[in-house]
Each structure stands twice: as C-alpha cells, then as structure tokens.
C-alpha cells in the first residue's frame, strides 16, 4: 500500500496514513419486548400524543430482567463477525462503548472476549450516547497505525436499568439494545475519511447518574432518594444537542473536503426527531438521505447509531461506496461525528 496524506481529526489536519480503516460489517440485537407509548400512559402521567410530538418516539424495546448488556452485545457481535466472515480468534482488539456495563468492573468488553472465545485485548469506553463514535474512531487509530488488523466495536446500553420508571420526563425517552461493527484495514484514504470528537465537562451535571461512583457510593439513602437513576435537564440538553450535532458533522465533513451535498446517508444519534431535524437543516441534507428509527427504539444511547446503521444498510440507505456521516451527542457532555466511505 502506498502512503497518502489524509485530512483527519483536530489539531493534526494532515497525517501520513499507510492504510485506512473501514467498517467491514455492522449488526444489531434488541430485546423482543416492545413497550408502546400507550403502555407508558398506564404507568406515568403522559400521553401518546405528547411523546410523539415532542420526541417522535412511538415504542421502545425493554430487556427482561434475566438479560444484561453482555447478552445483546454478544448477539450483535456474533452477527457482525459472521457478516464480515471474521472468526473471533482473528480479532486483535475489542472496544465496547457503554454506560450500563454488566458491572462497574470487570469491563463488559472482557466478558464479551470470553464469550466469543477471542484472544485479544479488550476494554470499555464511556462517552455517553456518543460512545459508539468514540469507540469507532479509537478502533480506527489502532488499524491506521498498523497496530491491529481487525477490531470489534460494540455499542450497548440498557438504559431501562438506570431509568426511574416513575419520572415521566425521562422514562418515555429510552430503550435497550446493542450494535456491533467489525473494522478492518483498507486502502489509505478510504473507509473512515475524517472525524470530530469533543467534550464539555462543564455540562456534566445536565445529564448524569449521581450515585454509584466514588463520589456517592450506592447506599440505602442514595437509593431512597433515587440518586441511582438518570437525572437530566432535558431543556438544556435539547438546546446543546440542536446546536452541536450540525456543528460537529459540518466540522468532520470539512476535514475531508466535503459538504452536506456530498452525503449519501446521514445517520444521527436517535434521541429525538426534533434534534435530528435541526441537524438536517443546518447541513442542508434532504429528508430522504437521513436515516431515522427513533420511532421504534427510542434513545438506546451507545447502541443507537450502530442499530440505525444496520437497518439503514438493510433498507438500502447505506450501500457500498456511499458517503455516510454518523453523528452523536450525549452525557459528558460529549459529541462526535465521523465520515465513512462505506
């Protein structure tokens, strides 16, 4: 392979790449159980109309108690490996993005390595709902540098486990699921064309789980006060998301000399239809090029983008040679975008 100069991330605008990193396959796994807006009307003071109008969500998948993150991560990973015709022992690294791991430690990536029978390094990464973009970008660096040939990237979250089902301002928004991608080496200048990652920790308190870490361990008092659940300032997160999705995608596109007009498929984090619409307008991307499935899954956090990518590919939105932009935001606050040649 020859060496090319490729635009890439921030700070380093020109890097010498001996090879690129591409998504060889993508797959997903979601619980069978569907919870509709009508089901939620029976649990909290809400209406199907309010949820649809404010978020676009109609139903979500919720995992039964006997399942945990590893089960969906494993199912999605097995499917992605089969699609890429890669066996577990060919993996050089596993990166799992999650904020609802099976345990605080060991990492869910290690549980997955064992379940798959892989013999490689494995670690979790936490960047809220932007986790999959962070994980994909991280995996690509290992491949582009020549350190790894084949990396499994998983986004998995069971937000239902950290949701207060009595809080109507959050419980209507979230769902459970997993998505996985196998990344392999490709010609330089192909695959991941550019990326943008960002964070603003000053916004951390806007979206958090207060208890369960070293600051406020889980105690009977913390649980009684509901501090082990998601606490969110929805309005402020909404304003941030509306601004950042378009900005970040625009930055990633400009780093590889492209604009919204070059995009074949835009796959945003599936949190809220109104947030997706705002990004679409900023990038001047027509509706028919934007993949949306928030109506069926709600916000599945780290799993949202790979689930959407999997379905977008199934439905022909994403095709070989397509220019695909994935873009997310989440707790941290974090945000990220990547431009992929499929």
Catalytic-role residue among 8, 37, 272, 299: 299
Residue 312: is it exposed, middle or buried by C-beta count within 10 angstroms (0-12/13-18/19+)? buried
Quote the tokens at residue 73: 């991560």
Closest separation in Å from C-beta 181 to ligand ACO: 20
Task: Indicate the residue among 95 and 116 with the shorter CB distance to ligand ACO.
Answer: 95
Closest separation in Å from C-beta 171 to ligand ACO: 8
CB neighbour list of residue 105: distance below 8 Å, 6 or more residues apart: none
Quote the tokens at residue 109: 């990536």
Closest separation in Å from C-beta 242 to ligand ACO: 9
Task: Indicate the residue among 184 and 304 with the shorter CB distance to ligand ACO.
Answer: 304
Residue 189 DSSP code: T
Closest separation in Å from C-beta 238 to ligand ACO: 4
Task: Indicate the residue among 90 and 295 with the shorter CB distance to ligand ACO.
Answer: 295
Q: Is 103 a catalytic residue?
A: no
Task: Indicate the residue among 116 and 173 with the shorter CB distance to ligand ACO.
Answer: 173
Catalytic-role residue among 8, 17, 37, 269: 269
Task: Indicate the residue among 134 and 342 with the shorter CB distance to ligand ACO.
Answer: 134
Q: Is 299 a catalytic residue?
A: yes
Catalytic-role residue among 129, 171, 256, 338: 129
* Contacting positions for ligand ACO (CB under 6 A): 46, 50-51, 54-55, 128-129, 168-169, 172, 207, 232, 234-235, 237-238, 241, 271-272, 299, 301, 330-331
CA atoms within 13 Å, Cβ hemisphere of 249 = 32
Closest separation in Å from C-beta 159 to ligand ACO: 7
Q: Is 57 left (phi over 0), alpha (psi -120 to 50) or beta?
A: beta
What span, in angstroms and rounded, lies between the C-alpha atoms of 243 and 255? 19
Task: Indicate the residue among 185 and 206 with the shorter CB distance to ligand ACO.
Answer: 206
Q: Across the strands, what pairs with 6?
A: 15
Q: Residues 249, 252, 255, CA angle at the centre, nearest 5°? A: 150
Q: Residues 61, 22, 86, CA angle at the centre, nearest 5°? A: 75
What span, in angstroms and rounded, lies between the C-alpha atoms of 43 and 100? 23
Which is nearest to 192 in space by CA: 126, 133, 266, 271? Answer: 133
Do residues 240 and 206 touch, judged by C-beta distance below 8 A?
A: yes
CB neighbour list of residue 51: distance below 8 Å, 6 or more residues apart: 37, 40, 57, 58, 172
Which is nearest to 76 in space by CA: 284, 311, 246, 264? Answer: 311
Closest separation in Å from C-beta 278 to ligand ACO: 11
Q: Is 129 a catalytic residue?
A: yes
Any idea which residues carry the catalytic annotation?
129, 269, 299
């Amino acid at each position: 392979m020859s060496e090319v100069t490729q635009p890439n991330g921030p700070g380093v605008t020109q890097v010498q790449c001996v090879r690129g990193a591409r998504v060889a396959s993508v797959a997903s796994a979601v619980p069978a159980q569907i919870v509709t807006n009508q089901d939620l009307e029976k649990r909290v003071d809400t209406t199907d109309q309010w949820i649809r109008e404010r978020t676009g969500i109609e139903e979500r998948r919720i995992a039964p108690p006997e399942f945990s993150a590893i089960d969906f991560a494993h199912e999605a990973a097995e499917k992605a490996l089969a699609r890429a015709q890669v066996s577990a022992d060919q993996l050089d690294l596993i990166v799992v993005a999650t904020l609802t791991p099976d345990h605080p430690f060991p990492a869910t990536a290690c549980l997955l390595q064992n379940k798959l029978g892989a013999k490689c390094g494995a670690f979790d990464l936490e960047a809220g709902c932007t986790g999959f973009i962070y994980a994909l970008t991280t995996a690509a660096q290992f491949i582009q540098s020549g350190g790894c040939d084949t990396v499994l990237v998983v986004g998995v979250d069971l937000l239902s486990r950290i949701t207060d089902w009595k809080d109507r301002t959050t419980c209507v928004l979230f769902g459970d699921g997993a998505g996985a991608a196998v990344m392999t080496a490709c010609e330089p200048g192909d695959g991941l064309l550019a990326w943008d990652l960002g964070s603003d920790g000053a916004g951390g308190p806007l979206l958090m789980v207060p208890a369960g870490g070293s600051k406020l361990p889980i105690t009977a008092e913390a649980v009684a006060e509901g501090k082990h659940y998601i606490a969110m300032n929805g309005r402020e997160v909404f304003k941030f998301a509306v601004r950042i999705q378009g900005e970040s995608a625009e930055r990633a596109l400009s780093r590889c000399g492209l604009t919204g007009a070059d995009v074949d498929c835009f796959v945003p984090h599936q949190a809220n239809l109104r947030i997706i619409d705002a990004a679409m307008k900023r990038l001047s991307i027509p509706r028919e090029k934007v993949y949306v499935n928030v109506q069926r899954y709600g916000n599945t956090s780290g799993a949202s983008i790979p689930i959407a990518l999997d379905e977008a590919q199934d439905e022909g939105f994403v095709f070989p040679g397509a220019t695909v932009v994935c873009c997310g935001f989440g707790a941290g606050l974090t945000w990220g975008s990547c431009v992929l040649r499929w």
